[in-house]
Structure 1
Amino acid sequence: MTTLLSRIFRALEKFHASHPWDHNAHYHRRILRQLPRRFNSALDVGSGSGDLARLLASRAGAVHGIDVDPTIVARARELTAPAAPVTFTVGDALNDIPPGPYDVITCVATIHHLPFSDALTRFRQHLTPGGTLVVIGLYRPHSRSDYLIDAIAIPSNVAMAWIKNKGRKPPRPTSMTAPTRPATMTFADIVRDARHALPGARLRRRLFWRYTLVWHQR
């Protein structure tokens, strides 16, 4: 099964080279559904070109994005209107987070680049009482249910790419240009470590090789 999936994934990579779409942005609206209609401050970790940070600004008094890549941070600043309550910083997500605390912290497709438990602990330390953390992460397929979800995701992925690219040839999404690496933790490992660091955290596997983690600071 693993060999077959590897071949399918290679074929998908070729397909998406000519039919690109942003898998992470697909979950932005889901993130908003986990958040209050209005809040004072938000931090977006691994903010990339700033799409999510600007979306959070529609509800927040102030939003700060942080990303380790200076090129993508410069691009985020270019794309953000001067009057928007959004700022961006180049820095390490563990050591350079601007002083909070924050009512909302988001982290999309970034935490698998970080020491997982350390990152969750640091995010918790920067949340206000009653604050919300939302993580969209990647996991390494391991169980039968993982592979089943992956199998369902494949035709859905192709259909979504076809729909989003129908009748046009859009440029590769900016947020997809940063260097990436595969996830190394299984979903079971993620659940175990997350619930140790964040008691009561809610985690679910999602389509398109992602999971969601939602936690509320008490």
Structure 2
Amino acid sequence: MTKPPGRIAEALDTFHAARPWDHNAHYHRWILRTLPRRFGRALDVGCGTGDLARALAGRARSVDALDADAATVARGRALTPPTAPVTYTVGAAPDALPPGPYDVITCVAALHHLPFTESLERFRAELAPGGTLVVVGLARSATRRDRLREVVSVPLNVLMALVKNGGRQVPRPAAMTAPVRPPTMTLAEIAHEAELVLPGVRVRGRLFWRYTLVWRDDSGRRG
């Protein structure tokens, strides 16, 4: 992430510490628009406190939610109504993935914590024919276009903080308390490696220091 220098960066950090908003949750509506209106089984990898898993449960027959942080998963369970068809599991992907097949697999701000190629291979293996994989991830800035998106994101980030919080100072959302790690792969590296595992995958750089990856298994067969 590229930040303005000196006092401007310090002022922005202070502003956002008092008025935080969840960049990952910002993409949840986009994820739902990308997915079918109804589907059977869904898997949310790196589920955190379960915000997306609960949203998927409004469309799915059942949702498996996986995260490596036990405290975060416990918070998710506490926030989830008993009648919601969401099952939480503590474990690290890709080894701890519950067995598929899944009609939908989502992974938000977690893939850069995992072995990239191995995880995509496992997601593909557990995806049902005709299923959809959606990733919202973080990439390391490397190009002029990357830096331009970051520059544009800075004022928009301030505007979104004011709109979402009504200008008020607010506590940090529970979903933003999970452990974090800086990304190491560039967007070009992500797109190249993903194409090797998921032919026809769509990878796009996005605002607010995120990228999206969408792949649909249209082959109708495994392999």
TM range (shorter): over 0.9
CA–CA separation in structure 1 for the residues paired with 2:30 and 2:74: 27
- Give the aligned CA root-mean-square deviation in angstroms: 1.4
Paired position in structure 2 for 1:34: 34
Instruction: Supply the distance in 2 between the matched residues of 1:78 and 1:139 (Cα, whole angstroms).
Output: 31
Matched residue type, 2:183:
A
CA distance in 1, matches of 2:64, 2:124: 16
Q: Secondary structure at the match of 1:42?
A: strand
1:136 lines up with 2:136 in the alignment: yes
Map of 1:75 onto structure 2: 75
Structure 1 residue 6: Cα displacement: 5.8
Q: CA deviation at 1:105?
A: 0.2
Amino acid at match of 1:150: E
In structure 2, C-alpha distance between the alignment counterparts of 1:107 and 1:35, rounded to whole Å? 13
The equivalent residue for 2:176 is 176
Q: Distance in 1 between matches of 2:9 and 2:122?
A: 34
State the partner residue of 1:105: 105
Deviation for aligned residue 1:168: 3.7
| CA offset digits 1:45-77 (Å, max 9, x no partner) | 000000000000110000010000000100100
Give the C-alpha shift of residue 10 in structure 1.
5.0
**Post-superposition shift, 1:181?**
1.1
Q: What's the CA shift for 1:13?
A: 2.8
The answer to whether 1:194 aligns with 2:194 is yes
Provide the C-alpha distance between the structure 2 equivalents of 1:190 and 1:108, rounded to a whole number of angstroms. Answer: 15
- Letter of the structure 2 residue corresponding to residue 114 of structure 1: L
Q: Does 1:146 align with 2:146?
A: yes
Question: For each residue in 1:178-218, what CA deviation from the matched residue of structure 2 results, as whole angstroms up to 9, or x when unmatched?
Answer: 11011111111111001111100001111000000000112
In the aligned structure 1, how far is the partner of 2:9 from the partner of 2:167? 25
Between the aligned partners of 2:167 and 2:156, the Cα distance in structure 1 is: 19
The one-letter code of the counterpart of 2:23 is: H
Alignment pair present for 1:159 and 2:159: yes
**Counterpart residue type for residue 63 of structure 1:** V
Deviations along 1:143-191, one digit per CA (max 9) or x if unpaired, are 0010011111110001001111115433211111011011111111111
Distance 1:33 1:197 in 2: 24
TM-score (norm 1): 0.95
Q: Which residue of 1 aligns with 2:208?
A: 208
Q: How many residues align?
A: 216
Query: Could you tell me which amino acid in structure 2 is paired with residue 189 of structure 1?
Result: E
The amino acid that maps onto 1:77 is R
- Give the residue type in structure 1 aligned to 2:60: A
Identity %: 61
Q: Are 2:43 and 1:43 aligned? A: yes
Aligned counterparts of 2:28 and 2:96: Cα–Cα separation in 1: 24
Residue type of the partner of 2:85? P
- The whole-number CA distance in structure 2 between the counterparts of 1:11 and 1:137 is 26
What is the aligned partner in structure 1 of residue 56 from structure 2?
Answer: 56
SS in 2 for 1:63: strand
The unaligned stretches of length 5 or more in structure 1 are none
Match of 1:85 in 2: 85
Do the aligned partners of residues 146 and 118 (structure 1) sit closer, same or farther apart at CA in structure 2, a change above 3 Å counting?
A: same
CA gap of 1:9–1:110, structure 2 versus 1, over 3 A, is: farther
TM-superposed CA distance for 1:11, in Å, is: 4.3
